[in-house]
Amino acid sequence: MCPGDPKEGFTVKEKIHPAYNEIRVMCACGNSFTTRSTHKGDIHLEICSNCHPFFTGKQKLVDTAGRVERFRRKYAKSEQAAAKTGTK
């Protein structure tokens, strides 16, 4: 028999394990679900499986502090400059 087999009457030690409570997980997209964890309090996520592009199959740009917009402006200028020099 294996150690820890329930047939041998194995029990866990008391007062050394953290509390394993039911918590609520909330995403920025509005999705929420309950799970069990040793974490105290609710968990707030930015991206979950309901809104993540890998799971949804849709590309969604998350603009962090204007980085996407800054990138678009930078390359829009270079495309315009290339178009002007190409037409002359």
Domain ranges of the chain: 7-87
pLDDT in the model for residue 60: 57
First vs last C-alpha separation in the chain: 85
pLDDT in the model for residue 1: 46
Checking if the pLDDT of 25 tops 80, the result is yes
pLDDT in the model for residue 4: 52
| Cβ–Cβ < 8 Å for 34, 24 | yes
Checking if the pLDDT of 87 tops 60, the result is no
Residue with the two structure tokens 């929420």: 32
CATH number 4.10.80.400 is the correct assignment for the domain at 7-87: yes
Q: List, for residues 30-81, the tens digit of each pLDDT value.
A: 899 999 999 989 999 888 888 877 767 776 566 666 777 888 888 887 777 7
Q: List, for residues 5-16, the tens digit of each pLDDT value.
A: 555 666 778 888
pLDDT in the model for residue 33: 92
